[in-house]
Structure 1
Amino acid sequence: NAEWGVGERLPRPPAAHTASFAYNPGVKPRAAAQMKAFVRYGPAEGSQRFRHLVDLARVGLVFPDATALRLGLDEILENFEVVDVRNHYHQSAVALTGERYVEVLVVMKNHLPMPHVCEIRLEELAFFNAHTEVAPHLKSVCRGFAELYHSCGAHSGAIEYLAQKVLRSTPDSHNVRIFRRQVTRVFGSSVVAWRKMLGSATPLAFPKFKDACLQLSTAAVQVRGGEYWQSLDAARAGCISLFELDPYAVVLLAKVRERVLTLVPGGNEVVDVEELFESLAALASPPATPGAFQSVEWRRVCKKLGFSQYEADRAFSYLDFQ
């Protein structure tokens, strides 16, 4: 309805007769959509990142209680072409902010030249009111993180979105943590596992991920490939990157790369690997093995670059392909 303005409420919406009202949050702003695509899908999809945005068109349905919400969900499942339902009432799907809602993705085709996926958020009135009241404070916190990292040269918009995503995301499940430990135990680190099993492949689709799980020695890991995939591909992008598998490793290696490249004279775009290695070796005593660093030698180099011993050891485990 063109007369239904942003932020307005529509009582007793026909799409769900048990709802108290429908709420129009408005079309997702272009800047917000670009930032979400950049931060959330960019590492795996690159220039194809925008195709995974399914909340450009959205609407909220607010119910008086959980019983009415369940009846409204049944009505939507019956009358719409539903492609996904995300239950954020389940204990494993509750975010750090404590929000409770059900998210439904439906396909809209009527009077459209091309079908479009839209997001419907089903929420109880108590949680809707709490979400509305807290939203300005949450935005202030996220902006605070952006300001903290702005002086370090980080992208303010990306940091703000990332802080919001972390607060509104579910923690990793116990099984996913066990999976990461098993990968580290077998290969030494997640990065080495990715390189040995997958080479430089990115993004990674489910069939290849399942084959990789079969290479692990534990039977429990082998049969739970689908469960691990659902947890790692929380954004439903249909693919994952090393960033989803181990975001800490990617961030640390990016920091190491950034500081190592400061040794390149004049900031040349073309880097001579041998000259760069000699510059690193000059930060500490010459390596015992020509062309390679032992762990102790790497620690000395990283200390000069401003990393702690813990960060140096982690980075070494990621880079030690042997």
Structure 2
Amino acid sequence: MVVVLAVFAGVVFGLTLFLRDLLGMNETKDYPGPGEGTVSFVVQPGEGPLLIGDNLVAQDIVATSKKFVEAFQQEADGREIQPGTYEMRFQMSASGAVNALLGDGGTAVHYAAVARDLRQSETFDILVQSTGIPLAEFEALAASPQAFGLPEKAVSLEGYLFPGEYRFPVESTATEIVTEMVDNAFAALEESGVSDPSAQYDVLTKASIIQAEAGEADYATVAGAIENRLRADNTETNGLIQSDATVTYGLGRKSYNLTPEEKADKGNRYNTYANPGLPVGPIGSPSIEAIKAAANPANVPYFYWVTVNLDTGKTEFSSTLAEHARYVAEYQEWCGTQDAGRCE
């Protein structure tokens, strides 16, 4: 009886598969298209057809990833799906979705992710990679910052290339791209309550130092310490901000270490060890959080700060040089337990 039942089950299973094939039940499901409504779909850098297909299914744009991949293989003809945001429809056919993403039915854009604290040169590299626009075009625009509404004392676009995720229309020019980013920086300053152009430049300069020197939880405290250093009655540091990040910016490198000669070099206009007051301009692209902190610094008694653990971002504050020296020693002790180069 057991043998008979096993044979019977096998026959039934085989017949089921035969009927499914005969009736087309094994074919991958596909929407008939053209779809309905509208939906924004984002393709991130590095995503391939399979992952894109999975994401399309998750948003109910196509029925199955398998059918989308099959359609892509049949219709791509060597073309690749570019990163960007595409206006698509719900429940499209796989073929329709492929055509939309290859530029035959959707709205393609250049996607650029600009992180906070990037320098102007680093941001330009991202924009060049994203858009294909020559670097020389962006550098030429940076040479005339006043054309974008920056004050006369601005030496470049540094600090005004506001960080964020951008999706530029493919036909955008370098001027249009920079204008959008600068406008976002002005909007962030306005949102932070800073409307005077000259004050905006100083706040953005402070914010860029805060961004480079502190973790987000400490932005307001570092901002307060910077204000204390800039006060006319400051006899603790005599108007010197003493930021390593500003010095290394002027030296054209990123580092935690400075030589005594580098700290003493007044010719470096970003050297806040040798030159009192703010440096000549921002040293990177600050976030809205850093801008708000610079515009609204905490009322604190501190003049000094040092991050004693680069992994956790733990920062210690002090009001005297002697107390600060103890925290610097703590940082150096931590560095002594790290791999070579961690604290360079």
**Both proteins in one fold, TM over 0.5:** no
- Which category of TM-score, normalised to the shorter sequence, fits these structures? under 0.3
Decide which structure has the larger Cα Rg and report it. Answer: 2
Task: Calculate the TM-score normalised by the size of structure 2.
Answer: 0.25
**Which has the larger share of helix?**
1
